[in-house]
A = this chain, B = another copy of it.
Amino acid sequence: MGITVVDIAKKADVSVATVSRVLNDQQKVGAERKQRVLAVMEELNFQPNRWARGMRKGSAGEKTGQIAMLMVNRPDTDLHQAYAMQNMHGAQQEIAEAGRNFLFCIWHESDGDTIPDILLNGEIDGLLVKGQSATETGKKWLSRYPRVRINPSDPSKVDCDCVMVDYERGSRDCVAYLAARGHRRIAFVDLQAFDSKLLGYRKEVKELGLDADEGLIQVRDFPVPLKSNSDLDWAIENLWSLPKPPTAILSHDYLCSAIYKSLANRGLKVPDNVSVVGYDNVLDCCRTLDPPLTSVDMGAFDIGKAAAKQLFERIGDPQGRSRKLYIQGRLVERDSVRDLSAKETT
C-alpha cells in the first residue's frame, strides 16, 4: 500500500542503500544524489515504515519511532489529573510534530513486581517518566532507556535528565508581587513536601526585608485529597492567633477554596481584609472562586513539551551529561489581591 524505499530508489535511480543513508542522514552521500532522493521522497510523500525500522533493533532500540510516557501510579485528585493531562498534551504535541508515536502507560507498582510490557520488548526509543519506581528492579529497567523525568520530588538526587517547575522562582515572584503592592506580612500555607517553594519564599522575604516571622509559615502534612473545606482551619486559626496577622497568604490553588472558606468563617473578606495568591493555575477554581484567584501558572503544558524535546536530544546523545531544566512560571492576575500601597496614596 505504502511507498517504500525501493520505490524511491527506482525513481531516483539510486540504490536502496543510498536511500536509507539519506533517510538516516548519517553516512556520506553525494550532495547531488542526496538532493535527488530528497526530492523524490517529497514528491511521493514517502513515510518510512515504522514496523520495518523497529524490527532491526532488539532491546532498547533506537529507531522504533515511539516514545512512552510512564506514569507511576495514577494521579488521584483533580489537580493531579488535570496537571497530568496538560503534561501529556504538551508532550504529545512535541512528539507528534517529530513524527513519532506517543505511548501511554500507568504503572501500578503495588500490583506485584510486574514490569510494564513497554519496557520489556524494546518497543520504544525513550521514556518520559512521571513519578518514580520504588523498587530496585523497577529503577534498573527504567535506566535502560534514554529518559526524562518530569517534576521529580527530589531533583538533587536524580541522575538523569529532568524538567521541573521552578518552584523557588515562582514562589519568589509571588512574594515580590505582593510586596510591590504594599504587603509586608505574607503567610505561607502549604503541604510539607514543597521545600523549594518554601525556600523561595524565605529568600525573597529576606531579600526584600519583609517581616520574617516564623509564625507566618503554616506547613503541615495534611491529607490530600482534602476531605473537606475545613481541613485548613488550623492554618487560619494559627495565623490569626498571631499578635499581628498577615495581610496576604501565599498558598496553592488546590488549597485556596478551603482557605477562602476558613477566612469567611472568621468574617474575613478576600481581598478587602486579606489577599490570597495561588499556585499552578491549573484548576478551574482559580476562575470560579469568589473573587477569582490570582495564581502563578507553572506551565504544565510547557513542561510536557520541554521534556519531550529534551528526550530527543538525549536520544541523539545518550552519553552526554544529564541536564536539569527549570520551566518559568507566569503570574496570572485576577481579583484576590488588594493593592495596599494604592490605598495609602488616596
- Chain A positions within 8 Å of B, measured between CB atoms, are 1-2, 47, 49-55, 58-59, 64, 66, 74-75, 77-79, 81-82, 84-86, 88-89, 92-93, 96, 99, 101-106, 116-118, 120-123, 225-231, 257-258, 261, 283-285, 287-290, 292
Contact = CB atoms under 8 A, between A and B. Distances in A.
B123 A50 contact: yes
A1 B58 contact: yes
Contact of A92 (B52, B101, B104): B104
> DSSP class of A's interface residues: helix, strand, loop or mixed?
mixed
A101 B290 CA distance: 44
Nearest to A231: B288
A105 B261 CA distance: 39
29 contacts: A2-B58, A2-B122, A50-B54, A51-B53, A51-B54, A74-B85, A75-B85, A77-B284, A78-B284, A79-B284, A81-B82, A82-B85, A85-B85, A89-B106, A96-B116, A101-B103, A102-B103, A102-B105, A103-B103, A225-B284, A225-B288, A228-B287, A228-B288, A228-B290, A229-B289, A229-B290, A231-B288, A258-B288, A261-B290
A227 B101 contact: no
